[in-house]
């Protein structure tokens, strides 16, 4: 198995290039899509940054998991753009259960907006658990250790 962490823009390009969609899922791969909670998505990403943050796959499947939590290092934090919510134990457990269920896949793709904080936190925890290869499509020097620790606690 290999964990592949990408920024959203690279993830979307990879999905498009391969023609992968809800109607055309590869059976040897799994996908974890991390987007922001609706408040931060609307007020910060869309209205302020003029970016979209939608899941490529519109639905969850046996090998697709869409989750939403913000890139913060605490459970919740009031920002200038509204309340941000970090990863919860229930979302961490959902990610862990999904990864364990898909441990036979050749690759698990994981993305968040920048591909260097939340997704790297998830990816590194899973890499250590499965003792597998890991690659990251973005430069990162510090991942979200709150996310990493939540995943580790739920493994």
pLDDT tens track for 11-49: 999 999 999 999 999 999 999 999 999 999 999 999 999
Distance of alpha carbon 93 from alpha carbon 112, whole angstroms:
18
Phi-psi region of 115 (alpha: psi -120 to 50; beta: other; left: phi over 0): left
Q: Which structure tokens are listed for 12?
A: 């979307």
Average pLDDT, whole number, for the chain?
96
Quick one: pLDDT at residue 142? 86
Domains detected in the chain? 2-154 (3.90.190)
CB 83 within 8 A of CB 106: no
List beta partners, residue 132: none
The predicted model scores a pTM of 0.97
The band of 57, judged by pLDDT with boundaries at 50, 70 and 90, is very high
For residue 99, pLDDT over 90 is answered with: yes
Distance of alpha carbon 84 from alpha carbon 100, whole angstroms:
28
CB 67 within 8 A of CB 91: yes
Cα-only R_g, the chain: 15
Compute CA distances 143 → 77, 130, 132, 149, whole Å.
18, 19, 18, 11
pLDDT in tens, 116-149: 999 999 999 999 999 999 999 988 888 999 999 9
Average pLDDT of span 56-66:
98
Average pLDDT of span 98-111:
98
3-state secondary structure of 35: strand
Quick one: pLDDT at residue 69? 98
Q: Which structure tokens are listed for 68?
A: 């939403």
């Amino acid at each position: 198995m290999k964990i592949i962490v990408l920024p959203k823009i690279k993830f979307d390009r990879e999905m498009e290039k391969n023609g992968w969609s809800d109607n055309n899922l590869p059976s040897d791969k799994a996908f974890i899509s991390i987007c922001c909670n609706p408040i931060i998505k609307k007020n910060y990403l869309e209205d302020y940054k003029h970016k979209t943050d939608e899941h490529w796959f519109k639905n969850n499947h046996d090998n697709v998991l869409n989750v939403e939590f913000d890139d913060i290092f605490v459970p919740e934090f009031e920002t200038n753009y509204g309340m941000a919510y970090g990863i919860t134990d229930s979302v961490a457990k959902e990610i862990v259960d999904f990864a364990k269920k898909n441990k036979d896949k050749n690759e698990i793709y994981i993305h968040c907006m920048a591909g260097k904080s939340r997704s790297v936190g998830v990816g590194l925890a899973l890499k250590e658990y499965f003792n597998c290869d890991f690659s990251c499509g973005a430069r990162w020097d510090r991942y979200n250790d709150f996310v990493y620790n939540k995943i580790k606690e739920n493994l």
